[in-house]
């Protein structure tokens, strides 16, 4: 007879039985420490805002002491201020600022996590190579680095370059299909240099602004434009939000989590019960099941990155109308 079986036979009451269960790494569903089901989502992640000016100053300072040869990337992760979390921005997405100095490169690697980049500042000569395809990184551009694509970044210009990275690494952590490796050669061979206006991995600011003009004006006075990124990055969606001064964008609670980054303009955001102001380059996060309202105080263009496609595909997407 197994030890557990012997313990079960010897038990004289339920408490005896619970002790035996624990030995066997079992737990009684009617006697567990915490609930496993609840009425509606109750994320511990909190709305938060990060300042580009602070991050840029910090990366500039770090750049005096470390090079991109010392580190894989000179990036500053924006982690959600909850518990002992020190990585996730929201449950499924991590966001980081990254800076690369003139003459530097960030060596080539690849990983199963998808990455996307919003370029904030830089001059000519800044580019990323994605699977041998050389793509310029110009302010306002949005670039995709799909799952398992080799990527390395270069700054052959004369000014520092700054951008924001969005990755689904926390989702990959949760589902556990993580693979990553460095390219033995450090540099990739450049095999193509396509026109960024037609390359499916690049969305230039000019293209976004032109296509936005064809979108209908929404209640609140702004416009939205969803980028056709699904074929390359299936886990996340990318939506540009154009808000003329005084316009607003709002939505009710959703099981999707979102990150917003301001590419231009300034304004305020109510995120759940939190209130934040924001300006160009700032990032703010809206964890799942928080409603929001964003208002521009000067003409603004924001990017919203959401895990909505993942929730939708799995049958977990639920949205409420705005009730406030």
- Residue 303: DSSP 8-state: E
- Rounded CA gap, 306 and 293, in Å? 16
Q: Using the minimum distance from each CB to ligand GTQ, give the nearer residue, 75 or 248.
A: 75
- Rounded CA gap, 117 and 202, in Å? 10
Residues 16-45 that bind ligand GTQ (CB under 6 A): none
75 lies in the binding site for ligand GTQ (CB under 6 A): yes
Hey, how many other C-beta atoms are within 10 angstroms of the C-beta on 174?
12
Q: Using the minimum distance from each CB to ligand GTQ, give the nearer residue, 147 or 288.
A: 147
Contacts of 191 (CB under 8 A, 6+ apart): 132, 133
The enclosing H or E element of 169 equals: helix 169-175
* Selected binder of ligand GTQ within 20, 59, 78, 96 (CB under 6 A): 96
* Selected binder of ligand GTQ within 56, 78, 143, 167 (CB under 6 A): 167
Residue 141: CB minimum distance to ligand GTQ, A = 15
Residue 169: CB minimum distance to ligand GTQ, A = 7
Q: Using the minimum distance from each CB to ligand GTQ, give the nearer residue, 152 or 239.
A: 152
* Selected binder of ligand GTQ within 48, 68, 92, 98 (CB under 6 A): 98
Helices (H) and strands (E) in the chain, counts: 6, 19
73 lies in the binding site for ligand GTQ (CB under 6 A): yes
- Could you tell me what percentage of the chain is helix, strand and coil, using 3-state DSSP and rounding each to the nearest 5? 15, 35, 45
Partnered with residue 264 across adjacent β-strands are 301
Contacts of 41 (CB under 8 A, 6+ apart): 253, 255, 288, 289
Q: Using the minimum distance from each CB to ligand GTQ, give the nearer residue, 63 or 221.
A: 63
Residue 73: CB minimum distance to ligand GTQ, A = 5
151 lies in the binding site for ligand GTQ (CB under 6 A): yes
Taking residues 101 to 130 in sequence order and writing x for each that binds ligand GTQ by CB under 6 A, - otherwise, the string is --------------x---------------
How far from chain centre, in Å, is Cα 65?
A: 27
* Selected binder of ligand GTQ within 141, 165, 291, 308 (CB under 6 A): 165
Give the footprint of ligand GTQ on this chain (CB under 6 A). 73, 75, 96, 98, 115, 151, 165, 167
């Amino acid at each position: 007879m197994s030890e557990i079986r012997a313990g079960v036979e010897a038990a004289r009451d339920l408490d005896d039985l619970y002790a035996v269960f624990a030995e066997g790494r079992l737990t009684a569903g009617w006697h567990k420490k915490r609930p496993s089901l609840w009425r509606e989502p109750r994320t511990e992640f909190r709305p938060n805002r990060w300042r580009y000016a602070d991050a840029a100053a910090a990366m500039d300072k770090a750049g005096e002491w470390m090079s991109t040869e010392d580190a894989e990337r000179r990036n500053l992760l924006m982690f959600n201020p909850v518990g002992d979390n020190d990585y996730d921005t929201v449950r499924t997405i991590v966001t980081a600022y990254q800076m690369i100095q003139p003459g530097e490169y960030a060596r080539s690697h690849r990983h199963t996590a998808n990455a996307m980049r919003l370029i904030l500042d830089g001059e000519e000569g800044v580019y990323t190579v994605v699977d041998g395809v050389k793509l310029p990184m110009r302010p306002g551009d949005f670039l995709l680095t799909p799952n398992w694509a080799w990527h390395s970044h270069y700054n052959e210009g004369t000014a520092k370059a700054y951008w924001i990275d969005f990755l689904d690494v926390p989702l990959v952590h949760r589902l556990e299909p993580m693979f990553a490796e460095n390219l033995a050669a450090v540099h990739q061979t450049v095999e193509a240099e396509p026109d960024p206006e037609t390359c499916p991995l690049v969305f230039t600011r000019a293209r976004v602004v032109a296509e936005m003009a064809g979108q209908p004006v929404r209640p609140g006075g702004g416009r939205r434009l969803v980028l056709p990124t699904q074929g390359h990055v299936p886990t996340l969606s990318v939506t540009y939000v154009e808000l003329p001064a005084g316009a607003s964008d709002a939505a009710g609670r959703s099981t999707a989590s979102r990150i917003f980054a301001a590419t231009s303009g300034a304004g305020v955001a109510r995120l759940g019960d939190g209130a934040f102001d924001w300006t160009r380059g700032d990032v703010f996060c809206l964890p799942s099941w928080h409603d929001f309202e964003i208002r521009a105080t000067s003409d603004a263009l924001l990017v919203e990155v959401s895990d909505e496609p993942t929730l939708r595909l799995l049958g977990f997407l639920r949205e409420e109308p705005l009730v406030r």
